[in-house]
Each structure stands twice: as structure tokens, then as C-alpha cells.
Homo-oligomer: A and B are copies of this chain.
Amino acid sequence: MTLSGRSIIGFRRGSDTSRTFTARDPVSGQALDPEFASAGSDEIEQAVRLSAQAFEAYGRLPGREKGKLLRRIASNLENIAAVVVERASRETALPRARLEGETARTCNQLRLFAGVVEEGSWLMARIDRPDPERKPAAKPDIRSMLRPLGPVVVFAASNFPLAFSVAGGDTASALASGNPVIVKAHPAHPGTSELVGQAIGRAVQDCDLPEGVFSLLFDGGNHVGTALVKHPLVKAGGFTGSRAAGITLMQMAAARPEPIPFFAEMSSTNPVFILPGALEEKAEQIAAGLHSSFTLGGGQFCTKPGMVFIPEGEAAGRFSTLLGERLRPPASFHLLTEAIRSSYKSGIESRRKKSGLKALAEFSPDSDSAVGAAIFMTDAKAFLDDPQLGIEIFGPVTLLVRHSSRDELFEIARTLEGHLTATIHGTEEDLERFAELIRVLENKVGRLVFNGFPTGVEVGHATVHGGPFPATSDGRTTSVGSLAIYRFCRPLCYQGFPPAVLPPELKDTNPLGIWRMVDGQLTKEPVTVGLEVKGQAQ
């Protein structure tokens, strides 16, 4: 398990060492060996060309073959999990237990997509049978299914070095739908990235697939990412990161001579609404859960609850005290990168200076490299007057907002921008009284959580980890869960084609035994060949 510090370009390695960078230990601040070479222009070009070549074969691979690749990536990753966790813990300062859990989640996610492509209903295979007798014109035989787009570029995230990185959800879903992937590694954890990239590369070899199915490019700057998004052979992109970077990339993708879909999961403050009954009855439990949730992973979760709305009054005072107490004894957090730490500190500084805000509790750790958690408090009027307060600060901080009326609560809810999640804590009576709140929030987010906390995203079939802009670039999608596969494909239909040249998914006999829609009805049955033959005979 040695690290070469070189990009993985198909089955080859990068050699251009004109620009290099190193990872840093967030605790000590020290550089970690080895030096990583940023991919040069020739290497980028080579990776994209290999990817486009691989697409010709990989894009037509049957589901079970793609499933084999995904399962092999998972088992290869499990085989080196200890080494990966060791390196990731040095590069990210995240606890080992968390990184072990994240590795398991990443493997589960790969196997979830394997199951999806093996099962096959995701393809939306459809057959409209012909009717040569129809008047005024014969009805043709039309069959359609989803097809992949082509080379996909994936930008790995800093905060999930495994689950949203080299072998994360974007890569898994793009590979599942038949697209070769080029990952642009996150420079904060290049060693982890190389280890995972090696595991994927070996899986591609193990499965005898073309080398261009996967590449991993390093870069300490922006050159590689820009070149990939602008490359004419790249057909889509996935990104998880900051709003500023996400918007830059999505605009770049839209401004190409041939615009491409670009799925950026950006920023979210994940509003939490604690309704009166719940605040009264479960203050302690909610305060404990909220504290765990907004400080989890140093508050570096895209689903961190960054604003909490409570009705003012005695219960609010009690809740604030309970929450404040959670910050004692003080804990300190080593954030992922120097940039994140400095941005967190300036975010806290700017809130501290605002006149309408009160620091409810705030801990300043003594170490220079660590930060403390913070809670600010304000009222609905100040919140509504200052749109900055609704914007995400990445790190262990949240904002308590007291409102004085139902009208204020609804004004806040109605003026929210798009977020990944919204959470409601309530009793049965609360839900009856505030039923309309659910209706409002349904249009603001991708996931509604009831009596729970937004951090900890389940990887399943029903999961939606998306939301209206600016939570993501396209609120019609999710980046977690099996629905994420729909981002990287498009429907294609065949009219009047002889069975011999149709893909197996669309043949009369349904040789793959998948769910299909025949004349508008879901079925696994083969289609009647009689009509079929008539249709072909036209």
C-alpha cells in the first residue's frame, strides 16, 4: 500500500511533476508525505480520451456486469479499509470510528447501486406495441430505455473523504448508469484518494473492463477541474462542496458551446422548527440531539442544523439554557482544512459583531489549530431583516431564532431559500395545529425530518439528498440514494427496429427478466410475438 503521489490515468500513472502539493495534518499542521503531482494538460487530455473510448463498451455493459464491478470495488475497498482509515484519519482529523463507519457506508452504497442495476427496473424500459391496422396511419413499434451520457467528471468533497469522494455516491451512481468516471481528487485528502483510486483501478482490471472506465486526477489548484468541465468529450459533472465553487462550476458547464448537466450539491442551513408542544415536553431530549447533530464531525456536514426556530417564552429560555450547558465541558474541533478553519472563524467573528445577535454560549479552545463550538441567538425580526443569517457557516455553530407568533413562524418558513432538509419537532397536537408548515416546507427542501435530526443521511431507495437551489444546482435530483442514478442518463427510443439489433433490455422475450412498461402497464412478461412480427413486417 504505497502512495505514489501520481494521478491514476486508466491503468497508467501520471508523470508530470511540474506542480505539486501535499496534504496537511489538521491537528499538527504538518505536511504529510508524499508530494502529490497536479495533473498536467496532457494527462487531463489522456484521461478524457481514455474515458470516451471506454464509454463505447462500458456504456453498453449489461446490468449484471456493472453490478460485478461495483461489488468488486466494494470488496477491494474493504480489503484495504484499515490502511484507508489510518491515512484518512491523519488527513482529516476525523475520528477512526467515524471513518470506519463511512467506509462501510461507502461499500453499502456501491452494493446498493449494484443491486439496482442487477434488478433493472431503473432503466424504465418501455415497449409500445405496433398496430399495423390502425387508421389513419399504422402504429409503429416503439421501445425506449435509459442510456448513459458519456464521460462524467466527479469533484470529490472535503468533508466525507470516502462517502462523497473517490468511490462515493457520484462515482457509484455514474458508473452504475454506464458512464466512465474521472474523479478530481480533493486536495485535502489525496492519500486517501489514491488508496481508494487504486482499489477502483484494480476492480476495473479484475473485471476485464477497458482502462478508461476510471481515472483519478490530482490538483492542488483549479486547473484540472476547469479543464475537465470545459472538455468537449465530458458529458456531465457531479460536485459536492461550497456554494461559491458549485455556482462557478455550474455556470461554466452552462456556458460551454455544448452545455452539459452539472449536479452541484452546495450549501444548506437545514432549518429546524421546534413546535410549542415539543419544546414544552421534550426540551432536554431535543437539546441533546441538536447539540450532537450540529457538532457532529465538527459541524462539517451538509445537513448540519444551522438554524433552529423556537417560540419565545419560558420554555424557550429553558431550552436555551439546556443547549448552552451542552457546550460545557468545552470540546475542541480540528476542522478539515486551514481554509475551512479560517472561514469558520471569520463567520463567527462576523456574527459576534452583529448587534441583533447574542452569543448564547461560545467556547474558544486554547489551541491555535482547533476551534470551539458556538451558539448564537436572535429574534425573528432580526433574522428576517438580515438574509446573511440564513446562510451556512461550515463548522460547529448554530443559530437559535425566537419567534413571537404563528405569523412570524410562517413568514420565516415562506421566505426560506432552498435547503437539503427541514426538520420539525412536534407533538401530535403540534402537527395538527401546524399542518400548513409541512405544506410550506415541502417546497423548500428535498428531505423533511420529523422528530429526528438531519445529520446522518440514510443510503436507500427512498432517500432524497437534494433540494431547490441554492442547496443544489438542480432541485430535481438527489446525490444520495438509488434515485441518484437518474442524473447521468437519458431516454433513447428505437422505432421499427428488428429484434436482432435491439438491446436485450428491449427484446420481445425479456431475456433479462426485468420490469418493463408494455403499452402503459408494468410487467415482467415477454411481449406477444405475434403482433411483433406483424409490426416488423410493415
A residues contacting B by CB (< 8 A) are 56, 59-60, 101, 115-116, 119, 121, 124, 126-128, 136-137, 139-140, 142-144, 147, 149-150, 250-251, 254, 258-259, 261, 417-418, 428, 431, 435, 438-439, 442-443, 445-452, 456, 458, 460-464, 466, 468-470, 473-478, 482-483, 489-498, 500-501, 515, 517, 519-520, 522
Contacts and interface: CB of A to CB of B under 8 A. Distances in A.
A458 B136 contact: no
Counting every copy of the chain, the complex holds 2
A413 B494 CA distance: 17
A492 B417 CA distance: 16
A244 to B, nearest CB: 15
B496 A451 contact: yes
Contact of A128 (B116, B460, B519): B460
A125 to B, nearest CB: 9
A469 B150 contact: no
A494 B254 contact: no
Closest 6 CB pairs of A and B: A464-B493, A126-B462, A128-B460, A476-B490, A144-B462, A128-B462
A464 B492 contact: yes
A461 B498 contact: no
Contact of A137 (B115, B137, B456, B489): B456
A490 B116 CA distance: 20
A258 B445 CA distance: 14
A495 B483 CA distance: 16
Contact of A491 (B60, B466, B501): B466
Contact of A463 (B442, B493, B515, B519): B493
Contacts of A490: 446, 466, 468, 475-477
A491 B478 contact: yes
A329 B469 CA distance: 58
A452 B493 contact: no
Contacts of A116: 520
Q: Which of A60, A477, A501 has the most CB of B within 10 A?
A: A501
A101 B127 CA distance: 24
A437 to B, nearest CB: 10
Given A258-B417, A446-B492, A450-B498, 13 more contacts: A121-B517, A139-B458, A142-B460, A142-B463, A144-B462, A254-B254, A428-B498, A446-B493, A447-B495, A448-B495, A461-B517, A462-B517, A522-B522
Q: Which of A438, A462, A498 has the most CB of B within 10 A?
A: A462
Nearest to A495: B449
Nearest to A442: B492
9 contacts: A56-B439, A137-B456, A431-B498, A446-B493, A448-B493, A448-B497, A462-B517, A466-B491, A483-B491
Contacts of A470: 258
A136 B428 CA distance: 28
A238 to B, nearest CB: 14
Contact of A462 (B143, B417, B435, B450): B143
A431 B143 contact: no
A51 to B, nearest CB: 14
A431 to B, nearest CB: 6
B496 A462 contact: no
Contacts of A142: 458, 460, 462-463
A144 B491 contact: no
Given A476-B489, A491-B478, A496 B449 contact: yes
B438 A501 contact: yes
A44 B261 CA distance: 30
A128 B442 contact: no
Contact of A497 (B144, B450, B478, B517): B450
